Amino acid sequence: MSLLSSSKKMQLGEQLGGNSSQQYKEKSSSTSYHVISAVTSDSETVWISWTDGSSAKFHNIWLRDHCQCSQCYNSTTYQKEFNILDVPLDIKPIDVSLNEQNSLSIKWPDSHVTAYDATWLKQHSYGEHGASGVTRQTGKEQKPFLWDKNTIETKLPCPFEFNKVISEEDELNGLFRRIVKYGFAFVEETPTTVDAIEEVAIRLGGFVKETHYGKVWEFSNEFLEHADTAYTSDYLRGHTDSTYFSHPAGLQMLHCVEHEGTGGLNLLVDGFFAAEKLKQDDKASFDFLTSTIIPFQYKSENLHLKAHGPMIELDPFDASLSQIRFNTYDMATLDCMKYEDIAQFYKALRAYCCITCAPENQLWFKLVPGLVLIMGNWRVLHGRSSFTGKRTMQGCYVNGDDFFGKYRAKAVTHKDSNCRIIQEEQN
């Protein structure tokens, strides 16, 4: 049953509270749509002007380093063959010109010739004319949709079908985009065997991330298999998982295959939305949580894991939100801070907690057999209400590098034909 069907909406509503090079293009580039109007050079720099009025400057050594001819670049492995030791750092062209293919042609002192496509140069310019400190987003092919309770209820993503995710590329590509855009997605009509959830994980990341919890887990609250509150029937505040790993899991998948009792509603909070709200409401606290390293740990009789990182991590290139590492259950003893920083830390922590715990920012629903929840663990906080009776869950992790690596490749090489996704993008 679709999450957007009328009956499901009603149910959910009740639950919510060579020396010459080829033209310089990446493999996926299309016909150039930026046109160079003028080019000048000096002993250090090549200046480019486009017909749209914009301009940029490139260091000579940067241009030489980015030659993609067969001698300098292996187009099969996407790896550079060029050796920086083969040329002087103060290298300068002996000729710079425009050719008929709308590309920049440079002849170097050793007679090596390189051509750079105008659009490629535009896309990879690292500083606009007259500006400084210009940064560029890296690896963000899709802008995330930040949500609170009201906005996500009105745009609640409909689930994908298990059989189609496993067998159809369009459905799989739609699922990738949904997870990146909203931070979570559902897959319905999923068999309740552990093999099924693993099949979805493999489609999304290539393989399951195995941890001390195992590969694909099936557990209930009747037995405390690990030293973790998730294995009880208690209420769980919103959090991200594996904060005590140097590289926290990128995705988490959950499937409730049995529940004989009451309660057990699932909670999601958009950690990116909460971070942006904190930035707007309390910039000092936001800055503190993005710049302060916090220790986390998992400790049992047989294992003691330790890792650290900021609760809110920013992209070092463009300062956009990159990762949330938020789990107050797993924070280790805070003896690593300066005395004068402790008060500011607790002020900032409380401010972020208040946002994540506010009812207007929380999405509540109930997982049922057949409905798998996929969460972006670098962004979305999850939790649950307390419950009675036996509750059996399945779950697994997927590495973030593997998921985003597959997503980026698909975003470049595959045009999504899923009408639901296209409609969401338009909205």
Residue 175 and residue 324 in one domain: yes
Residue 156 and residue 78 in one domain: no
**Residue 104 maps to a domain:** yes
Residue 110 and residue 252 in one domain: no
pLDDT in tens, 19-56: 333 333 333 344 457 889 999 999 999 999 988 888 99
**Residue 69 maps to a domain:** yes
Residue 230 and residue 280 in one domain: yes
**Residue 8 maps to a domain:** no
pTM of the model: 0.82
**Residue 4 maps to a domain:** no
**Residue 140 maps to a domain:** no
The mean pLDDT value of the chain amounts to 85
pLDDT band, very low/low/confident/very high, at 225 (cuts 50, 70, 90): low
**Residue 128 maps to a domain:** no
- We report the CATH number of the domain holding residue 419 as 3.60.130.10
Q: 27 lies in which domain range? A: 20-123
Mean pLDDT of 63-87: 92
Residue 30 and residue 73 in one domain: yes
- CB–CB of 184/268 below 8 Å? yes
Q: How many domains does the chain have?
A: 2
Burial 170-194 (b: 16+ CB within 10 A, else e): ebbbbbbbbbbbbbbbbbbbbebeb
Residue 221 and residue 358 in one domain: yes
**Residue 302 maps to a domain:** yes
**DSSP helix/strand/coil, 296:** strand
Residue 107 and residue 164 in one domain: no
pLDDT of residue 413: 62
- We report the CATH number of the domain holding residue 86 as 3.30.2020.30
Residue 366 and residue 409 in one domain: yes
pLDDT in tens, 277-294: 999 999 999 999 999 999
pLDDT in tens, 48-62: 998 888 899 999 999
Task: Please give the structure tokens belonging to residue 358.
Answer: 């506010």
Contacts of 209 (CB under 8 A, 6+ apart): 249, 396, 397, 398, 399, 402
Residue 100 and residue 157 in one domain: no
Residue 324 and residue 193 in one domain: yes
